Chain A
Amino acid sequence: MTAQSTLTPQRDGAPEPSGGSVRPRRAHRGQARTAALYLTPAGIVLVSVMAYPLYQLVQLSLYEYGQAQASGGAPLEFLGLGNYTQLLGDPRFWMVLLNTCGFAAVCVAGSLAVGITLAVLASRVRQLPRALLFLAALGAWATPAVAGSTVWLFLFDQDFGLVNEVLTGIGLTGMEGFSWTYDRFVAFALVAGEVIWCSFPFVMVTMYAGIKAIPEEMVEAASLDGASTWRTARSVLLPMLRPLLVIATIQSIIWDFKIFTQIYVMTDGGGVAGQNLVLNVYAYQEAFAGSNYGLGSAIGVVMTALLLLITVIYLRVQRGTGENA
């Protein structure tokens, strides 16, 4: 039935005698209507689960809205952009934003690099090592974030951790009692390691599927034409993998920008003197732990806007290079 309805506009359009300009237009319209019909169910679900919360988020961010206001102990006060000016005027916010962007960039680059490398490796090795590789990767992927972070913390514990023990054992005596969470950059590096460890499997599996989907004839033809391995990778494989790569990158950006658990658990809520705060943990601390929902919502809106912006810019750049290639 559904198949029929897609075909209808074309059939109707076919015998139309009068000129070329009407026909595609009507067909186009009919198609748009059909497309809209197909998209309706998804649209309804999206609107109900996304639009209302977003609306509430934006609305809350315009009010002085804490626990006292929510439970009726104090009157509502409309602030307009007050929460935003307060937020943007706070030097801590900019420090945290910088932390977040830098940290997310490292995590995205790291998980893409590790994921792609291992995907290439997996497509080249035999079945048993490949199975082992996948098993390890899926294990990391399946580990809940809190459990993963805690295990990493155990491994890197300054007194009883395996890592310090091994490092001391191979002669690096300076590592005895070394604290991995005290120095700002060491702590960030440790958390980034954990984040990459639990997010590379997604990239790896996606890219592996992409590599496997490339017909062998293409690669063969390229090599018959005398292309080097590097040339094949750059001009044949990469363009074919691009759509998957874009998806993997956008997903990684969104995930890593929104990191909460790893930072919260591993640096004990933002590190010594808040030096390891990222936006999500900052929002939680500023707003939800202190029941200041208005300011929290403002941080949420800013984060959403930033993520949209980054994604759009990335897509634009991708489209640009795609056309040039």
Chain B
Amino acid sequence: MRFWKTAAVVVAGALLAGCGPPQVDQGASGEDKSTGTLRVWLFDEANRDPKEEVVNAAVREFEGEHEDVTVDVRYIAVDTRSERFTGAFNDPSSAPDVAEFGNTDLASYVAAGGLAELDTMLGNWPAAQDLSESVLETARTDGKTYGVPWFTGVRALYYRTDVFEELDLDPPRTLGEIAEKARRVRAARPDMYGIATGGKYTYAMMPFIWAHGGELARGEGATWESAVDEPAARAGIEAYTELLEPDVCPPEQCAQLTGTESVQAFAGGKAAMTIGGDFNRAAVDAGAAGDHYDVVPLPGTEPGEIAPAFAGGNLLGVLRSSDRSSLAKEFIRVLAGKKYQRDMYEAMGYLPTFEDVQNQVSSEDPTVRPFVETLQAGTRFVPATPAWSEIDAQEILPTMVQRIVTEGELGPATAEAARRMNDTFRE
């Protein structure tokens, strides 16, 4: 009995220390086939048909140009993308050659060793010179580019024209005026939120930080340092949390709101303002507020300024395990090219990433103008480090906002958020 116990302990110890947990060898086979099936993953959408039509047209064009090549497009759910990409990285044989992904996921996919570098491809592609620099910046990490911006999205300020007219208000010209006008709306119309925005709507808070001259974090490569506890960032956070007060958007209702829920509240007629993206227009048009709203760029701290917006958007990239990488890059040049970006804008309303195409669409369609103005005023991005996905998943910033709102104190919450961010950066 004794012997068995000792033996078991020894064996278990040896197993635990000796051989480590499983790891995948990500290295590509080195092959670069020019025929066969090119596997593509794109995101599924609530209303996918128009997107699918554009994609199918691009696929037909590509297949016409390449003999013996078929393109197999799969649509994956956005909610489960993390599992799907994790699976693709862990089992290269089931991975696609080309994939669409959100630009905030880029750094962690690169760190996982899953994506191929695209700098040479972009250098050889004349059209790439017209890509918006601040959007292209979201496809880079550590100075290398790993994705081609397919479309972008920015947020601006939606407001109810009928309510503002009735109360004789002008649209806010500064961030400070947003709180002021929101209070006046709620005082006159207690059934409405002055502005619908939430504790979990981090992308609405970021422009407040940036407009006040603050940063989320500073750094380069492996040495990032949180900046949310610095005075400038704190001024921005304070201005944002001022919107989550009983006389604007009561914390009982708004502390838990996400971006989508904030826009829904506005679309449903429950709020006089909200911060929403160009991609939210269809939802607002379909709601009760659909006929009575307008959009202006989110103002900065001084009249005439535009607060730097978060540059959201999706990229197309090539998986490192792909054995058809040349074909994959050629396919991206077609699908993310000017022609199909324009078609995608018309089909889905997604903003193009080429500046000349942006100008074209905004001169034709006035409703998209505030978004293009915001884009061209310069956008910002989250820290390009894989730690950001973790910070996001751990809800460090929403927790910070919610603490400020419930405790009424700024200092301890920003200090704790900075500490937790730094812990994650240093892991």
* Chain A positions near chain B (C-beta within 8 angstroms): 55-56, 58-60, 62-65, 67-74, 76, 78, 158, 177, 179, 181-182, 268-270, 272-274, 285-286, 289-292
A71 with B394, Cβ < 8 A, contacts A65-B21, A76-B21, A291-B108 known: no
Q: Are A182 and B16 in contact (CB under 8 A)?
A: no
Residue of B nearest to A286 (CB): B394
A72 with B24, Cβ < 8 A, contacts A67-B108, A272-B402, A272-B406 known: yes
CA distance A140 to B257 in the complex (A): 30
B residues contacting the other copy or chain, number (CB 8 A): 42
Residues in B whose Cβ lies below 8 Å from that of A181:
256
Q: Which of B370-427 contact A (CB under 8 A)?
A: 386, 389-390, 392-395, 399, 402-403, 405-406, 424, 427
B22 at the interface (CB under 8 A from A): yes
Q: Nearest Cβ distance between residue A215 and chain B, in whole angstroms?
A: 42
Q: Nearest Cβ distance between residue B186 and chain A, in whole angstroms?
A: 14
B282 at the interface (CB under 8 A from A): no
Residue from B26, B256, B406 in contact with A71 in the complex, judged by beta carbons closer than 8 Å = B26
CA distance A62 to B19 in the complex (A): 12
22 A–B pairs (Cβ distance < 8 Å), ordered by A: A55-B12, A56-B21, A59-B16, A59-B21, A60-B21, A67-B108, A69-B21, A70-B21, A71-B89, A71-B113, A73-B110, A74-B113, A76-B23, A158-B252, A177-B252, A272-B199, A273-B399, A273-B406, A274-B399, A285-B394, A290-B393, A291-B393
CA distance A4 to B15 in the complex (A): 42
Q: Are B393 and A289 in contact (CB under 8 A)?
A: yes
CA distance A73 to B82 in the complex (A): 16
Residues in A whose Cβ lies below 8 Å from that of B199:
272-273
Residues in A whose Cβ lies below 8 Å from that of B25:
72
Nearest 5 A-B pairs (CB), nearest first? A73-B113, A71-B89, A289-B393, A290-B390, A273-B402
B86 at the interface (CB under 8 A from A): yes
Residue of B nearest to A288 (CB): B393
Residues in B whose Cβ lies below 8 Å from that of A68:
108, 111-113, 386
A-B contact count (CB 8 A): 112
Residues in A whose Cβ lies below 8 Å from that of B253:
158, 179
16 other A-B residue contacts (CB within 8 Å) besides A70-B112, A291-B82: A65-B21, A67-B112, A70-B86, A71-B23, A71-B113, A72-B23, A73-B111, A74-B113, A78-B17, A272-B251, A272-B256, A272-B406, A273-B402, A285-B393, A291-B390, A291-B393
CA distance A62 to B386 in the complex (A): 21
Residues in A whose Cβ lies below 8 Å from that of B111:
67-68, 73-74
Q: Are A285 and B23 in contact (CB under 8 A)?
A: no
* Chain B positions near chain A (C-beta within 8 angstroms): 12, 15-17, 20-27, 82, 86, 89-90, 108, 110-114, 199, 251-253, 255-256, 386, 389-390, 392-395, 399, 402-403, 405-406, 424, 427
CA distance A179 to B86 in the complex (A): 38
Residues in B whose Cβ lies below 8 Å from that of A60:
21
Residue from B112, B389, B399 in contact with A73 in the complex, judged by beta carbons closer than 8 Å = B112
Q: Nearest Cβ distance between residue A99 and chain B, in whole angstroms?
A: 15
Residues in B whose Cβ lies below 8 Å from that of A58:
16
Residues in A whose Cβ lies below 8 Å from that of B386:
68
Q: Are B90 and A70 in contact (CB under 8 A)?
A: yes
Residue from B16, B89, B255, B390 in contact with A70 in the complex, judged by beta carbons closer than 8 Å = B89
CA distance A270 to B392 in the complex (A): 15
Q: Are B21 and A71 in contact (CB under 8 A)?
A: no
CA distance A65 to B394 in the complex (A): 17
Q: Nearest Cβ distance between residue A289 and chain B, in whole angstroms?
A: 4
Q: Are B26 and A182 in contact (CB under 8 A)?
A: no
Q: Are A71 and B16 in contact (CB under 8 A)?
A: no
A290 with B406, Cβ < 8 A, contacts A58-B16, A60-B21 known: no
